[in-house]
Structure 1
Amino acid sequence: MSDQKQYFYLKVHACTNPEYNGRYLRYTGSGHADIVLTPDHPKFIKFYLEDEKLMASFKDKVFGFCMSVDHDEGGEDHAGTRLYKVEIFENRADIGFSFGPDKEQLLRWRVIVAVQKPTDSQKATSQWKSWACRENPADMYKGYPQLYWTTEDVSEDWSDGIEKLEIIAEYL
């Protein structure tokens, strides 16, 4: 029986900083679970959707997108912007991923997050709103911006170095 999966790279379709348009999402490896934006497509990992899980494969290994929801702290605060890390781990994956019905078929994540200690700008329950990248995180990998997600609407109040992204699949 043949492998019927549709493989693709994940690519930035649009960004509030046009410098990142057309960049690819890559797993850093090297002991990091982070996903970063790079000018070149991944060399080894191909993505696919399976049962609403965003998976990646390399040889006989399987990895999955994990949305790193820290329920107790409610994400990371960066100059007033609440961000949640997107990571990739072997043999794990969160559910709720799909490509939207819009013309561009943007990557979406269907989830509701229970925030234990909401700030004034948060509700006790928040939903995924958008993807974001952050320049210069503390654990930055080789100078590449890192992928996050947020429960906040994009506004002009977002701090410098945080950009809103739209992500699409580039099918192989």
Structure 2
Amino acid sequence: MASKQFFLKTAPLPDEEPSQYTNLYLRHFGSGMDSIVLTPGQPKFIKGHMDGSRITFNSASHEGRKWGLALRKDGEQYAGWEKVEIVEREGSDKLLFTGGEEGSVKEVLECEEEFAEEKVWKGWMVCDWAHGYPQLFWVTHKLNGELPSFCHRVQIVREML
């Protein structure tokens, strides 16, 4: 039986008001780049589903091809955040939805990535970045202090289809 399909979108952190980055859908940037950008409209060509502890995407226009949600790591994550991408034939393990009934807005995407018994993943953030659209990043255990002024912390939730 195939797993249920969904879109991924942003939501405010608990006890925070919605921001300009609330209710935006994660989309593959394309143009030869694997970056994830955020837009107000639902993606037309990719739908996510769980494949064990990975999120994979199928394309309506490219049957048989699969992409995965990949949390990148650049060395020791000294900046405190790293890229998130949608990459063909790849994807990060240890992703899970928590906090609510299946399909509810309260069902939040988290990662159980660990390094030397310390939880590495600390959340998500959106930044006004180089592609002309807000871009998604993951926050690491190395983040000390505040985010840059052009970034904002968010949650990622799924919208069931």
Fold shared per TM-score above 0.5: yes
CA contact (8 A) 1:134 1:145 kept: yes
Identity of aligned residues (%): 28
CA contact (8 A) 1:36 1:147 kept: yes
Q: 2:74 aligns with which of 63, 70, 75?
A: 70
Q: CA RMSD in A?
A: 2.3
The amino acid of 2:108's aligned partner reads: L
Partner Cα distance (1:97, 1:39) in 2: 24
**Deviation string for 1:4-38 (max 9, x for gaps)?**
22100001121677011111000111101100111
Q: TM-score when scaled to structure 1?
A: 0.79
1:86 aligns to what SS in structure 2?
strand
The aligned residue for residue 134 of structure 1 is 127
Q: Does 1:26 align with 2:10?
A: no
Runs (4+) of structure 1 exceeding 6 A deviation are 153-156
Partner Cα distance (1:171, 1:101) in 2: 15
CA contact (8 A) 1:10 1:25 kept: yes
Query: Structure 1, unaligned stretches of length 5 or more?
Result: 115-123
CA contact (8 A) 1:76 1:84 kept: no
Partner Cα distance (1:76, 1:146) in 2: 19
Instruction: Give 1 or 2 for the bigger CA radius of gyration.
Output: 1
Matched pairs, number: 151
Q: TM-score when scaled to structure 2?
A: 0.84
Partner Cα distance (1:76, 1:31) in 2: 27
Q: Does 1:164 align with 2:153?
A: yes
Q: 1:9 aligns with which of 7, 10, 13?
A: 7
Could you tell me how far 1:152 is from its partner in structure 2? 4.2
